[in-house]
Structure 1
Amino acid sequence: MEVDSGASCSIVSEDTFRVVERNHGKIPLQDSGTTIVTWSKEALPVLGQASVLVEFKGRKAKLPLLVVQKQGNSLIGRNWFNPLGIGLRGIQQVNVEDVPSRFPEVFRRDLPGFNGPPVHIELKDDAQPVFLKSRPVPLALKDDVANEVDRLVQQGVWEPVSYSNWATPLIVVRKKDGTLRLCGDYRSTVNKAIKSSGYPLPTTAEMLTALSSSKSFTKLDLAQAYQQLTLDDETAEVLTVNTIKGLYKVKRLPFGISVAPWVFQRVIDTLLAGVPGVKAYLDDILISGCNAEEHAERLETVLSRLQKAHLRVNKDKCEFNQTSIEFLGHRIDDSGVHPSRSKTDAIQQAPAPASKKELQAFLGLLNFYSTFLKGRTEAAEPLYRLLDRDHEWKWT
């Protein structure tokens, strides 16, 4: 059985339970009156509750065990921890080399796709298909673009098709690491036809307030973010891209779709619901704890859920077991939340603005840290006056 500190009760599948009965005799089941719901809100039908004798490291106890109809892993939940003396102290010193070995699938380089329900993007009732030609690619980029198309096909993100009512041209972006990102220019096609999402992204204040009393932190980076979510067939066809190699149906949630951030955030929030000290903002997941043991237990729970969901993490971009960490433009440690050093340096080293547009950008940077700037309104009032339409621009 697998230890799951995120599960409140211990469960076993019906098939496994019947095997135990064949080996040890009939075990009576009683009505449990319990409803079990997975992280994806799927109800697990409970056949009943058995009372079983469990022996673990010299301890014996008669403990409740729920039998469920669906196949799956047998889980030791928290209701067995105290009677059997089970704790997670053995993992409290988190080592970056250690973690992948205990959750190997989470850190693999493949991209099997989230095993929850596929994403369906709703279109407006009056939406009409738009088919646009592929855009020319500079000669120097053609080979790289073709190779990236092939890689996405191999990963199962794209699939070649011979026909589609919808077609969106590509935008080619060179990333910091030198690789390419191929995005559909959905502003010119699908975004106009999509119904807006009502799911809000969390605010920075909401996220940081819940983390301000923590002492240990780990930050996980979800590999290729949106592209881990699978699409249903109807949505995949609507998001077809037109490339220099032809038409490709998009089978994973792509960048550039107007509702993609909200769709992705909802999935991750649902997946990690109920785990204290854990906050996710799109592809960044921050795990915190007031001490090493609490932090390690929460990290164990998060990695276990990610592995069960077939989600992948980019190990190279993760930070494990830190006493201070950067998150959402702020630095968090045991003394609270502080402005990020890189951001404050940018403010202090900013050149004098030469236009109203440059002044607006500078004031926007100041506004990001408004909660840390006492008297900001009074001090910045002359600068805001310079932005008035009728005010002459004069910087001295």
Structure 2
Amino acid sequence: MEVDSGSDFTIVSMDTYRALWQGRGPPIKPCRQKIVDFQRQIVPLVGVCTVNVSYGRVKGHLRLYIAKGRRTSLLGSDWFDALGIRLVGIYQINSDPVGAVLQEFPDIFRTDFGEYTGPPVSLRLDPTVAPIQLKARRVPIALVPKIDAEIDRLILQGIVEPTENAEWATPVVPVLKQNGE
């Protein structure tokens, strides 16, 4: 059962009710109570029953609402006082998990590019495999200036290097962002 201080009612599904009492449970009475979930959708109810509850040294006879179908069982605030449950401490947490990660690892999330300073990298290729050069794709004329500008930017930042003749070649596949860049 999930404790939910935002729920005014303690609710279990009919499936849970059957599993708990296996046909010998407290009688379910019809109820007119309207219950809505956190999405403001009406929770269809089978009814309500009174159950014997014990928590630590506290015992009581409490109302339990039975919902149709499968649902998460909720321990609502209607049982808190009877069971001696008190809410203390933080009621709301405002945190920015992304900001915390960015602050904790600033070197990883820099906007500029660093330079690899490790040992030289060598790709071992099977000498029996012939190099592949794929033909360039047709690019809409309107995109050519944007592609040229992006390639120039990558060269200036040292991310790519121009080469005269490459043994291996793959075409550029331009993908525009929503803002048109």
Query: TM-score by structure 1 length?
Result: 0.26
CA RMSD of aligned residues (A): 3.5
Q: In the superposition, relative to structure 1, how do residues 6 and 134 fare at CA in structure 2: closer, same or farther (>3 Å)?
A: farther
CA distance in 1, matches of 2:179, 2:6: 42
Whether the 8 Å contact between 2:17 and 2:25 is mirrored in structure 1 is: no
Contact 2:12-2:67 at 8 Å conserved across structures: yes
What's the offset of the Cα at 1:72?
A: 1.5
Q: Secondary structure at the match of 2:143?
A: coil
Quote how far apart the aligned CAs of 1:70 are: 2.6
Q: Percent identity?
A: 32
Aligned-residue offset at 1:94 = 5.5
8 Å Cα contact 1:5/1:77 also seen in 2: yes
Q: Which amino acid aligns with 2:25?
A: K
Give the letter for the 2:69 counterpart.
K
Name the structure where helix makes up a greater proportion of residues: 1
User: Is the CA contact 1:51–1:65 (under 8 Å) kept in the aligned structure 2?
Assistant: yes
The 2-side partners of 1:134 and 1:82 are apart by: 71
Structure 1: any 5+ residue segments left out of the alignment?
Answer: 98-132, 150-169, 174-396
Hey, what does 1:15 align to over in structure 2?
A: 15
Shift of 1:136: 2.1
Change (3 A) 1:93 1:37: closer
Alpha-carbon contact 1:12-1:73 (below 8 Å) kept: yes
- Does 1 or 2 have the higher relative contact order (CA < 8 Å, sep 6+)? 2
Measured after TM superposition, the shift of residue 134 of structure 1 is: 10
State the Cα distance separating 1:42 from its structure 2 match. Answer: 2.0
TM superposition shift of 1:58: 2.0
Tell me which residue corresponds to 1:171.
Answer: 179
After superposition, what is the alpha-carbon deviation per residue over 1:83-140, rounded to whole angstroms, capped at 9, x for unaligned? 111123154696969xxxxxxxxxxxxxxxxxxxxxxxxxxxxxxxxxxx99626114
- Asked if the contact 1:6/1:77 (under 8 Å) is kept, the reply is yes
Structure 1 residue matching 2:66: 3-state secondary structure: strand
**Unaligned stretches of 5+ in structure 2?**
97-139, 152-171
Q: Partner of 2:18: helix, strand, or coil? A: helix
> Residue 29 of structure 1 corresponds to which residue in structure 2?
28
Listed one character per residue, the Cα deviations across residues 301-325 of structure 1 (whole Å, up to 9, x for unaligned) are: xxxxxxxxxxxxxxxxxxxxxxxxx
| 1:44–1:70 Cα contact (<8 Å) kept | no
Question: For residue 54 of structure 1, what is the amino acid of its counterpart?
Answer: V
In 2, distance between residues paired with 1:3 and 1:28?
24
Counterpart Cα distance in 1 of 2:142 and 2:17: 59
Which whole-Å deviations, capped at 9, do the CAs of 1:358-386 have from their partners, x for residues lacking one? xxxxxxxxxxxxxxxxxxxxxxxxxxxxx
Larger radius of gyration: 2
Secondary structure class of the residue paired with 1:36: coil
Match of 1:78 in 2: 77
User: What SS class does the counterpart of residue 54 from structure 1 fall into?
Assistant: strand
Whichever residue aligns with residue 16 of structure 2, its letter is T
Name the structure 1 match of 2:143. 136
Cα distance in 2 for partners of 1:88, 1:37 equals: 23
Q: Which has the larger strand fraction?
A: 1
Q: Which amino acid aligns with 1:171?
A: N
Amino acid at match of 1:172: G
Tell me the residue number matched to 1:5. 5
Q: TM-score, normalised by structure 2?
A: 0.53
Note the C-alpha offset of 1:62. 0.8
Count, aligned residues: 117
Shift of 1:3: 1.2
